[in-house]
Amino acid sequence: MTNVNNQRPLYERPILETAFYPSYKHLIQNDQYEEWGGYTTLASFASEGQEYFSVRNTCGVYDICPMLKYRISGPDAERFLNRLMTRNIKKMLPDRVVYSVWCDDNGHLIEDGTLFKFSETEFRLCCAEHQIEWLLDSAIGYDVDIEDVSTDIAALAVQGPVSCSVLKKMGFSGVDNLKPFQLTVFSQLGFEVMISRTGFTGDLGYELWVNSSDAAPLWEALFEAGKSRGIRMIGSTALDMLRIEAGLIMVDVEFMSCFHTVRHLREKNPFELGLHWLVDFNKGPFIGRQALLKAKQNKPQRQLVGLDIDWNKQADSALIYDSKDCSRQIGEITSALWSPVLKQNIALAFLDAPFYEGNKSMWAEVYLHRECLWERKVFECRVTPKPFYSPERKSLTPPEDL
């Protein structure tokens, strides 16, 4: 990992390179760089279409090093996390991963992320935004150690129908037995590789976690094994398409952390995001429980849903109306995609009650830029279940050997 001179002022500090960057930088063809968490990352390497299809048809690899990783250990680790998270962490088995959210005292969403359990006293929390302050303050009164290990650990998401076959070819025998959200550690490469069957694409896929110093040999071995199976680095544009098809929410797109909202009532609770299934009121006390119990008494005023939009133009940032004359706004689209695999115009949208339930008609106001002119179009749309795309292979164990 690039050395950062922390003594230099922020504006002079170089943007960081991830542990895998030296390995894949020769694959960058179109210089579509973007900053993510202080790191140089790529919107696409060559062609976002090809990258997208590599995950749906063969195997795409996404560099997730900039994710924040926290090691949470100590005698009270489980109790601490059970209070922090809205899900029941005490039910979690070792070598498992859960997706959960966490809220503040007011039941406002802070972030979502994945929690890895190695033992009752050792966990790893993985998320997109810095949480160290919240974690440390939440640890007051608990015998627990919290350490930011983000730069110590490098990780790749290996996703797609042939991802399991590629990993097996790398020598990770038995990886095909991993069930979704299960993890195991391999050492066939001469160093420890933790593999979890997780991902952000809604497809069959794994995430590989190593010490940052082992990043280069891991990448080499992975791309050597995947060469004949169409392996490809993918950028964030393709990933965004994939996650929308999978109906997965993204921080700062579908919701903003309550730490960052400025305007009154812009905070979200899990119910508004349709994440009722993540909140376990029966597990005992947790942060935000009282506020969420209160919130649960009434149906949310707005909720995030999937939309199916007529016609074929992607409805980015469109406002939703209850009638074609667009007189009353009832919601807005947060993420939109013309889904290549579904051949369907889909979107994630926040809708007011009662429009998020049932099968009511509504209209999306879309602005199209055509030959240097803006045109306003109104397309009919309707609520449709999420995920939009969920192939059987996603949860099949063992996956098909391709």
Partner 1 sequence: MNSPLNAIIIGAGHNGLTCAAYLARAGQSVLVLEAATEVGGLARNRIVANGEQLSSAAHLLHSLPQNIIKDLQLEKHGLHYAAQHLKTVSLNKDGATIVLNKQLAMGDQLSSADLLGYDRFYLDMQRFSKALLPVLGKVAPEIAIEDWRQKLDLLGLGWSIRKLGTFYMREFLRIIGMNLYDLMDEYIENTQLKAAIAMDALLGSEWGARSMGSVLTYLYRQAGELRNNTGLALPSGGMGTVSQAIAKSARQSGADIRCNSPVKHIIIDNNKAVGVVLETGEKIYADTVISNADPKQTFLKLINPDHLGTNFVRQVNNLRAKGKAGKLHLVLSQKPSFTGLDDSLLGERLVIAPGMDDIELAFNPSKYKRYPDSPILEIILPSVRDDSLCQNGQQLLSAVVQYLPYDDSTDEDQNRTAMLKVIIETLEEYAPGISDLITTAELLTPRDIEREFGISGGHWHHVELVFESFLFNRPTPLLTRHATPIDNLLLCGASCHPGGNVMGIAGRNAAQQVLRGEK
Shortest separation between residue 33's beta carbon and partner 1, angstroms = 36
Q: Which is nearer to partner 1, 104 or 122 (CB)?
A: 104
Shortest separation between residue 137's beta carbon and partner 1, angstroms = 5
Q: Does 81 bind partner 1 (CB under 8 A)?
A: no
* Interface with partner 1: number of residues (CB under 8 A): 19
Q: Does 187 bind partner 1 (CB under 8 A)?
A: no
Of 14, 22, 49, 105, the residue at the interface with partner 1 (CB under 8 A) is 105
Stretch touching partner 1 by CB under 8 A, among 131-139, 216-224, 264-272, 372-380: 131-139
Q: Does 79 bind partner 1 (CB under 8 A)?
A: yes
Q: Does 181 bind partner 1 (CB under 8 A)?
A: no
Q: Which is nearer to partner 1, 103 or 170 (CB)?
A: 103
Shortest separation between residue 270's beta carbon and partner 1, angstroms = 15
Q: Does 386 bind partner 1 (CB under 8 A)?
A: no
Please give the structure tokens belonging to residue 32: 């579509």
Stretch touching partner 1 by CB under 8 A, among 56-64, 284-292, 314-322, 370-378: 284-292
Of 57, 73, 106, 344, the residue at the interface with partner 1 (CB under 8 A) is 106
Q: Does 382 bind partner 1 (CB under 8 A)?
A: no
Stretch touching partner 1 by CB under 8 A, among 3-11, 135-143, 169-177, 313-321: 135-143
Q: Does 137 bind partner 1 (CB under 8 A)?
A: yes
Of 141, 359, 370, 401, the residue at the interface with partner 1 (CB under 8 A) is 141
SS3 labels along the chain: CCCCCCCCCHHHCCCECCCCHHHHHHHCCCCEEEEECCEEEEEECCCHHHHHHHHHHCEEEEECCCCEEEEEECCCHHHHHHHHECCCCCCCCCCEEEEEEEECCCCCEEEEEEEEEEECCEEEEEECCCCHHHHHHHCCCCCCEEEECCCCEEEEEEECCCHHHHHHHCCCCCHHHCCCCEEEEECCCCCCEEEECCCCCCCCEEEEEEEHHHHHHHHHHHHHHHHHHCEEECCHHHHHHHHHHCCCCCECCCECCCCCCCCCCCCCCCCCCCCHHHCCHHHCCCCCHHHHHHHHHCCCCEEEEEEEECCCCCCCCCEEECCCCCCCEEEEEEEEEEECCCCEEEEEEEEECCCCCCCCCEEEEEEEEECCEEEEEEEEEEEECCCCCCCHHHCCCCCCCC
Q: Does 289 bind partner 1 (CB under 8 A)?
A: yes
Shortest separation between residue 294's beta carbon and partner 1, angstroms = 11
Q: Does 104 bind partner 1 (CB under 8 A)?
A: yes
Q: Does 268 bind partner 1 (CB under 8 A)?
A: no
Q: Does 257 bind partner 1 (CB under 8 A)?
A: no
Q: Which residues here bind partner 1, judged by CB under 8 A?
A: 79, 82-83, 104-106, 134, 137-138, 140-142, 284-290
